[in-house]
Structure 1
Amino acid sequence: MDTIYDFNVLQTNGSEKSLKDYEGKALLIVNTASKCGLTPQFEGLQELYEKYHDKGLEILGFPCDQFNNQEFDNIEETTQFCQLNYGVSFPMFAKIDVNGNNADPLFTFLKEQKKGILSKNIKWNFTKFLVDRNGNVVERYAPTTTPAKIEEDIQKLFD
């Protein structure tokens, strides 16, 4: 696997989606949680999406329940929560694991491309990966890095 375009992910309805569909776009890939102290970041992510979507940004949300069980059991509850509370209109995908033996292959790839400070494992909800228009992982952001602090890096992808 050379780029993220080599992966398929599960949509909330259970069908597969090829990330090749996003070829030529900049991506911000995020493991999310609906009941986390960082959940208000959905608001900032949505603002980035609205501001840069027409320029070619896609934000891909992947709900994850691995950190203190902070995600709804039912994916429909997750998507409704995100839409009603934060106006999320960017794509959300099926709930996944990001670490361990059952980690989604996409996140295993992302972690190999950009390791964290002490390890490659994801430490918490809202870890973010910025991918350029060629499918290369260019940056990894800590869970506490707000979407606003990522904006400058996103702008560079469109210059």
Structure 2
Amino acid sequence: MELVQIAAIGKRNELGKNNALIWHLKEDMKFFRRMTKGHTIVMGRKTFESLPGMLPKRHHIIITRDLSYSKEGIEIFHSIEDFIESYKEKKEEVFVIGGGQIYSQLLPYSSHLYLTEIDHEFDADVFYPEFNREDYYCNVLTDFEEDGIHYRHIEYIKK
């Protein structure tokens, strides 16, 4: 498995507030769909519950400590270790889509990060984990301004 993280973050690594995104940038949503479509996506339970429903054309995995949690059509793991063990031999890209704890716990296993870096500070209660950018090669993929907000899609590849 190649573990890839995809997230949109503000200047202070803001991710969301009250279990919701804190921005709605059309081009960023298109980027997310294009990158994850046809792939497996892994997330925490709260992130899944914040979605409008199942994301089309993606295999969903939820990691939750709630041993009684189940959802039809979704693969459930109750620990990061169980997920890693089950997927380590698979030959596919798996996209980590949130939330903050899942990003943090899976960061050491992730070979790529696709971060939408938004040039704005937001009021947030969930943050993307700090990471040393020196440990990655960096490619700026796009540069946008939308609704007066400047942002870039950046690919980080672990050295």
Same fold (TM over 0.5): no
Instruction: Specify the structure having the higher radius of gyration (Cα).
Output: 2
More helix by share: 1
More strand by share: 2
Taking structure 2 as the reference length, the TM-score comes to 0.31
Structure with larger RCO (C-alpha < 8 A, sep 6+): 2
Taking structure 1 as the reference length, the TM-score comes to 0.31
